[in-house]
Structure 1
Amino acid sequence: MISHLAKTEIFSLYVIEESVAANAIANHLHHHTDFILAGSQNNPNIALEEILKKERFPDAVIVNVEVCAAHQSNLPELITNHTSLIITSQSPEDAVLAFSYNAVDFLINPICLTQLNYTLDKVRAGKYPERHNDGPRHFYIQSEAKGKMIRLNHDDVFYIEACQNYVTIHLEKSKYVTYLTMKELEQKLSNTSFLRIHKSHLVNESKIHSVDGDYVILENNFFLKIGANYKESMLASLYPNFFISKRGGFKVAK
């Protein structure tokens, strides 16, 4: 049987950022064979002229809202219905602006390149949603009893706690200990509802009741501390499901 390889779809990305950030993004794109740099500018007015001269809009545009404010440009409003808009800013409070522009994602500057990878995945998924099927909603672990495997449904797990060279998986009324590292579990549960919020905790987003300052409060009223190094990526992961009025008055908790 002859194997036919599917043609790789190419996505174009235009970047409106300060030069240092734009160069970092451009260098990072070399690791993605399906993304090309359509152009970059630190002046949104010139960028708009360049974009409009192209035969078609770029598949995605990264826009720094502080750069736009400095040039008194309303570029995000002008292009939001024509491309996958990615908003960046140094301030978490600008997530509200990203929501009002119907952006595909919001990134804190300086941009975490790992988080940028997740954003590029969203661009791919938005254009070809049929390619991104839901994976299994369960997993198996080896129990403390030799030779026994236990099936755990994602929806039953509240959070996972690191304990030296093993982890404890917490359900509502029970818990399981298994010989895995947090890094191993985080990799295996990537692209699921589980979020890393601390060096010692993975949380099932579906079990989050609220986020209050530096704490995640679960549906069972259990409080978990948010690690300082994980807060920005956690908020960015929650952002697509974040509904808030465009009329303002909201402040992101720090």
Structure 2
Amino acid sequence: MIHQLSKKETFSLYVIEESATVKSIANHLPQHADFILAGSQNNPNIALEEILRKNRFPDAVILNVEMCAGHQTNLPELLTNHTSLIITSRSAEDAVQAFNYKAVDFLINPTDLTHLDRTLDKVRCCKYPVAFKDPARHFYIQSEAKGKMIRLHHDDIFHVEACQNYVTIHLEKSKYMTYLTMKELEEKFSNTSFLRIHKSYFVNESKIHSVDGDYVILENNLFLKIGANYKDSMLATLHPNFFISKRGGLRMAK
């Protein structure tokens, strides 16, 4: 069903997903006042008919590629040059398709709303690249000394580790403890170079040397375990920067 667009809204979003996912996104979207749900469908073929009946393509389309496979449709190829395409799937291996379709992002289902926020920022950036620059590359923490704040630059941080009711921020030759939770940091680190790889770890992507099986290896030779609940999301985030041949038969390592 196509919903009437409001002239006050800047970005129109169409969702081709399972009904539960559509409901979750629709309930979350009011937090983004510049986005409106232009329509939704769980049948890609009907969705294409609805989109083509409009005078213009939606600004962004969230598309479940597993649904496309089930309906044998080439919808991703038809949309890729006309909208900001966001590919979703339950399998991290489908990130390869997102890369080939030039999607602005790839989301693992069930959709993490924090990651959806990051994706909508990417859509904004595609339309207004000057207005949406990278956020501040530094932040302040309260030190153990009362009334003292310490300025930390993103590029100096290797990883952050949860320690009971506080966190330890590890730099190359020093570390700082501060009274923060991982949940608070997850909000602060949204749309930055920091990745949640474990319930107890954030890592700075710029400090990753390699990913080997269930471990992230940092440039300081520190091995950090990847949590099972975070692996697919981490790989999906890394994948747009992963060079891979378009030849058949190659699959993404898990």
TM-score range, shorter chain: 0.7 to 0.9
Normalising by the residue count of structure 2, what TM-score does the alignment of the two structures yield?
0.87
**Residue equivalent to 2:3:** none
Whole-Å separation in 2 of the counterparts to 1:250 and 1:231: 20
**TM alignment of 1:9-48, pairs within 5 A:** 9-48=9-48
Partner of 2:110: 110
Q: How far did residue 145 of structure 1 move?
A: 4.5
Q: What is the match of residue 52 of structure 1?
A: 52
Distance 1:19 1:51 in 2: 18
Q: CA deviation at 1:106?
A: 1.0
Partner of 1:159: 159
How far does the alpha carbon of each residue in 1:103-139 deviate from its partner, in whole angstroms, 9 at most, with x for none?
A: 0111122222332222122111211122222333223
Identity %: 79
Residue by residue over 1:125-165, the C-alpha shift from the partner in whole angstroms, topping out at 9 and shown as x without a partner, is 21112222233322333434455443332211111111122
Contact 1:212 1:253 in 2 (8 A): no
Q: Cα distance, 1:60 vs. partner?
A: 0.8
CA root-mean-square deviation: 2.2
Q: Distance in 1 between matches of 2:151 and 2:115?
A: 30
Select between 79-88 and 35-44 the one with higher mean Cα deviation.
35-44
How far the C-alpha of 1:166 sits from its partner, in A, is: 2.4
Query: Which amino acid counterpart does residue 49 of structure 1 have in structure 2?
Result: E
Give the structure 2 partner of residue 124 of structure 1. Answer: 124
In structure 2, what residue type is equivalent to 1:229? N
Ranges in structure 2 where 5+ consecutive residues have no aligned partner: 1-6
Give the distance between the partners of 1:216 and 1:228, measured in 2 at CA: 13
Structure 1 CA distance for aligned equivalents of residues 15 and 186 of structure 2: 30
Give, in whole Å, the separation in 2 of the partners of 1:218 and 1:124. Answer: 31
Match of residue 252 from structure 1: 252
Q: Is contact 1:199–1:227 with CA below 8 Å preserved after alignment?
A: yes
Q: TM (normalized to structure 1)?
A: 0.87
**Residue aligning to 2:77:** 77
CA distance in 2 between partners of 1:189 and 1:142 (Å):
17
